[in-house]
Structure 1
Amino acid sequence: MKIDLANKLAIVTGSTEGIGFAIAKGLADAGATVVVNGRTQSKVDAAVARIGGTARGVAADLASAEGHSLLVSAEPRADIVVSNLGIFQPADFFDTDDATWDRHWQVNVMAGVRLARSYLPTMAANRWGRFLLLASESAFNIPVEMIHYGVSKTADVALARGLAKRMAGTGVTVNSVLPGPTLSEGVEAMLETERQKSGKDIEEIAAAFVQEHRSTSIIRRAASVEEVANMVVYLASPLASATTGAALRVDGGVIDTLM
């Protein structure tokens, strides 16, 4: 099986580091021209340089309509869009104010809604396209320590399913991807205090975290960002033409259901 994305233009939001960067790199390695997105020009430039080739970037904060307009002005069309931008913030439900809920909704949900409105019509006109939303296993396994995050990710899954039905018969597929605990820079930062205290490798600490806080994990460790990116690259390819409206897991078996 060979994934060939030559002559495809792919936009990956929130792609200066972590899962987003790994996705952008994977798409570029498969031959796509990749547009990197982040909030600051310096981080965008650094990510573009690391990817090399035909990669280019747009610095814009997609949590706002204004930032979205900047992206669309710079890149008015795309064959592949990966709505990866996302935030998480552990907080007890009773300590989570409206501002926190709204911030998660704007970043984790509305950024994807705006991308879909802007890019799906052209994909449909071209009779081919791939639109992907990065959700989370937390969409089905709502974490008690950040209910607001889980709710936003459930919305992403619902959005992808609805959009897939809306795009029926156009040659455009829409799917959501559900990573589980993944050893991104953000997770490494969260575990850094424990690493310094224990002196253990970050992978060992992450595995212990998974086994304590996501006890249903079957792989019993955190996934790598590349493992998540591999699923996204496949779904973005012509090979995944019969997969749409799906919520595909890269969760290590955390979600304990058959479907």
Structure 2
Amino acid sequence: MLNIDLNGKTAVITGSTAGIGLAIAKSLAQAGANVVVNGRTQAAVDKAVAAVQAHAPSVEVQGVVADLATAEGCQQLAVQAPHCDVLINNLGIYGTVPFFDISDDEWQRYWDVNLMSGVRMSRAYMPQMLERNWGRVVFIASESAYNIPADMVHYGMSKTAMLGLARGLAKMAAGTGVTVNSVLPGPTLSEGAAQMLMANAPADQTLEEAGIAFVQQHRPSSIIGRAAQLDEVANMVTYVASPLSSATTGAALRVEGGIVDSI
């Protein structure tokens, strides 16, 4: 029987006040990890801390307000939460924009938020993991890393770069107890996705039905034929973050329902 036990470990989850990040924080806390949640506003961070604490009353939950799109924000998080056994590089932005309308500034913003936040936090926390000879670094990428969306080229590119970063860091940690992996969700029923789906849905349609309609129209290669639930993504991440995944590193693990048409 699998028993995921993260008691005594501290997990830092970037961009974790909502959506997949918050679901991961709750799941890791339920497995016994002390958790550090992060967001850009005090109100959002306080709300997330309360939600995680209610989900797992026995663990310590810390909130850090910091904008990880900047080097200063990443430094702030590393100073306020100096110990990390499990780093989940979850922070990310997305949005549909025609390629010819994406400005240089917007390209740079996606690079800073989606990639450089992970570069900086890995640089901050991996040395102590290597010194202890145990650690987990997980990048939350996307099936869009393989399946570059024509209306989100900048987003897809940033996620492809993330896979390269994670693979390189895994090789850097070769022969140690530190693993580095990517997890690739597909369409997932997060708050942001729900807002987008329901804005265009018929009045009598449920969120799950709207997710099915979206997947059928925009991701027809999906094998499960629906959007994933938050917990389904968080479950994969929790396994990868645990001692049980010790032989899995340098991997791009898909939890996208089979959208990527590859064996």
Q: Which band: TM-score by shorter chain? A: over 0.9
Partner of 1:206: 211
Choose the corresponding residue for 1:241, options 217, 231, 246: 246
- Unpaired runs of 5+ residues, structure 2, are none
Choose the corresponding residue for 1:184, options 178, 186, 190: 190
Partner of 1:106: 112
Q: What residue identity is the alignment partner of 1:14?
A: G
With the length of structure 1 as denominator, give the TM-score of the two structures: 0.98
Partner of 1:156: 162
Partner of 1:48: 49
Task: Give the secondary structure class of the aligned counterpart of 2:151.
Answer: helix
Q: What residue identity is the alignment partner of 2:142?
A: S
Task: Give the secondary structure class of the aligned counterpart of 1:16.
Answer: coil
Choose the corresponding residue for 2:259, options 251, 254, 258: 254
Cα distance in 2 for partners of 1:198, 1:211 equals: 19
1:1-57 CA distances to partner (integer Å, 9 max, x unpaired)?
Answer: 100000000000111110000000000000000001011111111111111131111
Cα distance in 2 for partners of 1:214, 1:158 equals: 24
1:70-96 CA distances to partner (integer Å, 9 max, x unpaired)?
Answer: 101101120000000000010111111
Cα distance in 2 for partners of 1:35, 1:257 equals: 36
Q: Does 1:173 align with 2:179?
A: yes
Q: What residue identity is the alignment partner of 2:123?
A: R
Q: What residue identity is the alignment partner of 2:8?
A: N
Task: Give the secondary structure class of the aligned counterpart of 1:145.
Answer: coil
Task: Give the secondary structure class of the aligned counterpart of 2:248.
Answer: coil
Task: Give the secondary structure class of the aligned counterpart of 1:144.
Answer: coil
Task: Give the secondary structure class of the aligned counterpart of 2:254.
Answer: strand
* Structure 1 runs of 4+ with >4 Å offset: none
Q: What residue identity is the alignment partner of 1:70?
A: Q
Partner of 1:123: 129
Q: What residue identity is the alignment partner of 2:33?
A: A
Partner of 2:138: 132
Task: Give the secondary structure class of the aligned counterpart of 2:200.
Answer: helix
Q: What residue identity is the alignment partner of 1:110?
A: M
Is residue 198–residue 210 contact of structure 2 (8 Å, CA) maintained in 1? no
Q: What residue identity is the alignment partner of 2:234?
A: A
Cα distance in 1 for partners of 2:222, 2:253 equals: 16
Higher mean displacement: 20-29 or 71-80: 71-80
Q: What residue identity is the alignment partner of 2:46?
A: D
Cα distance in 2 for partners of 1:145, 1:215 equals: 16
With the length of structure 2 as denominator, give the TM-score of the two structures: 0.96
Cα distance in 2 for partners of 1:188, 1:178 equals: 19
CA drift at 1:99:
1.2
Partner of 1:30: 31
Partner of 1:9: 10
Cα distance in 2 for partners of 1:137, 1:100 equals: 21
Is residue 17–residue 38 contact of structure 2 (8 Å, CA) maintained in 1? yes
Cα distance in 2 for partners of 1:216, 1:192 equals: 22
Q: What residue identity is the alignment partner of 2:171?
A: K
- Unpaired runs of 5+ residues, structure 1, are none
CA drift at 1:191:
1.5
Q: What residue identity is the alignment partner of 2:30?
A: D
Choose the corresponding residue for 1:78, options 79, 84, 88: 84
CA drift at 1:199:
2.6
CA drift at 1:169:
1.3
Share of identical aligned residues, percent?
Answer: 59
